[in-house]
Copies of this chain bind each other. A is one copy, B any other.
Amino acid sequence: MNSILRGAAVVGQSGGPTAAINASLAGVIETCILHSDVIPKVYGMRNGIEGFLEERLVELNPLFTKKDGFPDTDGLLKRLVHTPASALGSCRKKLPKPADDPGFYENLVALFKKYDIRYFFYIGGNDSMDTVAKLTEYLRTSDYEMRVMGVPKTIDNDLMGTDHTPGFGSAAKYIAAEMQEIVRDCAVYTVKAVTIVEIMGRDAGWLTASAALPNLVSGAGPDYVYLPEVPFDMEAFFGDIARAFERHPNVVVAISEGARFADGRYVGEGTQSGAVDVFGHKYLEGTAKTLELAVKERFGCKVRSIELNLPQRCASHLASATDLSESHLCGENAVSAAIDGLSGKMIAMERAEDSAYRIRYVTKDVTQIANAVRTVPREWIVPENNNVTDECLGWILPLIRGEAEGEWKDGLPVHFVLE
């Protein structure tokens, strides 16, 4: 047991938004307020580490504490849980290596001292865990005592060291529900038609696999799903379509935006800008559109392409109750673990090895997490590379269970807004 470290906390959100990232934020805030004897203040950094460097901080206690000193869990904190995107704002800043730019970190520590910040919570994906890792690395060489914790977040479910990631379950639920509705919609006509649905996920096919969930639950799922983990073959794809037409006139398939040919070229590469983001990731466009044109030429039938697009990561109206609850618990556990003396860790989920779905919250060394990608195991993709196994779907299914029960007004969800 470490000694008690008293001081303020700061919490930030980074990377792409999800429908559950604010649930983790609510978990952090709530637990800080419950431990106000140790953490008298919790600041939110606007737009992640970028905003912190500009001292754009907001004190969160007054907003989320009731008159009796307890967190306002049934009021604004609940509203925050059901709000999509990052309530504190986000950024995509990549930190320098401590050895390359120690001055950068000296500035950071000066700000920590200025606000008496002893706890740093960062909610995000791979790149955010890289931030946590670098800050931890620098702090080892510093005499400023501080605890740094990562809270995982990514719809892509591609983080190492955790059974799954907060945010994935809600995205998977949205994708599965929309696919089921699209399959129903496409089934109404008797004319031959192919519908191609493009799903997010550059390197990992977890979200595309989720498109097949209705096959397990209701039978109303896509005919095939194509993941980025295995090579995409155009002739084999045409063969799949032809075989599906033998079963019914309306063929529906899902494909990952990151689908690649055997030679490594993206399927949608012909229509892509060539632009890269600050982390060097390529922007992809038009995987489904490319296939739409190819199928139209080969089969001469009606073809439609659909990109599910941003709603995959922000449709909090259809969030998974399981995901929101787990995301909240990841935030709670990050604060508890830091108070207990841990630092340089990410909260991770471990699934019980028995028949019921149960999750245990553990901590993992953040250096083992950052900059690696967890993909769908080969054995969960069928040998024909055009579907996932029932074992894969059964593994995803518990993560989409339960419907979010947020507030509604005038027919629309009520969101939390930080002024």
Contacts and interface: CB of A to CB of B under 8 A. Distances in A.
A30 to B, nearest CB: 21
B306 A277 contact: no
Contacts of A289: 277, 283
B279 A270 contact: yes
Interface stretch (A70-78, A115-123, A140-148, A187-195): A187-195
Candidate in A402, A409, A410, A417 with the most chain B CB atoms within 10 angstroms: A410
Nearest to A88: B188
Interface stretch (A106-114, A125-133, A308-316, A335-343): A308-316
A283 B293 CA distance: 9
Contacts of A316: 181
The DSSP consensus for interface residues of chain A is: mixed
Candidate in A86, A177, A186, A276 with the most chain B CB atoms within 10 angstroms: A177
A177 B85 contact: no
A256 B410 CA distance: 24
A290 B277 contact: yes
Given A217-B410, A309-B306, A314 B415 contact: no
Interface in A211-234: 213-214, 216-218, 220
A193 to B, nearest CB: 12
28 contacts: A17-B184, A84-B185, A85-B181, A85-B187, A89-B188, A173-B412, A177-B412, A180-B413, A181-B413, A184-B314, A195-B310, A214-B412, A218-B412, A218-B414, A270-B276, A271-B273, A271-B276, A277-B290, A277-B293, A279-B290, A304-B310, A306-B310, A307-B307, A317-B318, A397-B410, A397-B411, A401-B410, A401-B411
Contact of A178 (B271, B311, B313, B410): B311
B278 A267 contact: yes
Contacts of A403: 408, 411
Contacts of A279: 270, 290, 293-294, 297
A306 B214 CA distance: 25
A362 interface: no
